[in-house]
Amino acid sequence: MTSPRLIPEFAPQSGVMVTWPHSHSDWHNRLDTIEPVYVEITRTISRYERVLVICYDDRHLLHVSDLLRQAGITASTVHCVAVPTNDTWVRDYGPLSVSGRSRPRLLDFTFDGWGGKYDAAHDNQVSGRLFAAGVFKVPELDHHPLVLEGGAIDTDGCGTLLTTTRCLLGSGRNPGMDKTALEACFHENLGIERTLWLDHGMLRGDDTDGHVDMLARFCTPQVIAYLQCTDRADEHYDELSAMEEQLHDFITHDGFPYTLCPLPMPQAVYSEDGERLPASYANFLIINQAVLVPVYNDPVDRQVLAMLQQCFPEREIVAINCLPLIQQYGSLHCATMQLPEGVLQD
């Protein structure tokens, strides 16, 4: 029998989780601009599979349900549940799914607000509260003390993990743990046979200390799409060029060079305070029959959509305007968490 393994994003899904922005989060003064983005994300996903919408409380749930109804989104495709959260970046506190004998197992790793940068007391309890509410049909939720965010790792589904040393080793998230200790933990809990460590790569405005989902992503076990910078004057050039060289040196689980898809950098986007924001096309979301791609009203948006269509020839490529979303330093993938087939209650 095949040993349990972390399930890749491109595997069949039962649904996608999103946490709706609310007045108790950092979105409190931008709700008028960010809620339409979440309506569009929910509308798009619901065309292909179910959406689990996490609302702050019962009052907020009624508000969100009304917004979705006004948008014409079919109620049968969306399930709203009231669970308090600190923020919306569910990718990093949602459960990770590992293959099991009859249905997936869910793992709840520790979330500490990206190394203690932000309050995460509510967020760290979301998976447990959803499980207690009967949202998942798996028999148990395994809690783990390791600090690990979903955006920090990616897998090919064949026992390979892709991650960054900047995040997992350079941020102080798990003091005293080196590569050997982390790889042993990945093997024991996620069925990982080998870990590909990206030693380079950064994105200004990304305060996660270098999450891989902003930099490089598995499209298939043989194909990696990654963020490329060709402008020598850009502050990202040296780091992303070094990352690109390392990706060329990596080999697949069966011993061949990866097919690489270089996604161009969009033009620099800045906040009202003049901070550069983390606009990355690598932060796409793979769902059943489709790939949702963040776009930024940039001249290369169309080029990126065409490139990703080549990576996912059997899936529809759907653009989502994420300019409002990156105002809080994350993008489309950060705001979502897929749940594999067999996880959500029917």
Q: What is the largest CA-CA distance in the chain?
A: 55
Cβ-Cβ contacts under 8 Å for 14 (sequence gap 6 or more)? 49, 50, 339, 340, 341, 342, 343, 344
Please choose, from the candidates 219, 111, 200, 216, the residue with its C-alpha nearest in 3D space to the C-alpha of residue 153. 216
Please state, in angstroms and rounded to a whole number, the distance separating the CA atoms of residues 96 and 154: 11
Please name the amino acid found at residue 306.
A
Among residues 55, 219, 229, 334, which one is catalytic?
334
Task: Return phi, psi of residue 196, to 5°.
Answer: -95, 115
Please name the amino acid found at residue 256.
F
Please confirm, yes or no, whether 334 is among the known catalytic residues.
yes
Locate 25 and state its tokens.
Answer: 């989060």
Please name the amino acid found at residue 35.
E
- CA 346 to centroid of chain Cα atoms: 24
Dihedral sign, Cα of residue 171, residue 177, residue 181, residue 187: negative
Please state, in angstroms and rounded to a whole number, the distance separating the CA atoms of residues 343 and 333: 19
Please state, in angstroms and rounded to a whole number, the distance separating the CA atoms of residues 313 and 251: 23
The residues annotated as belonging to the active site are 334
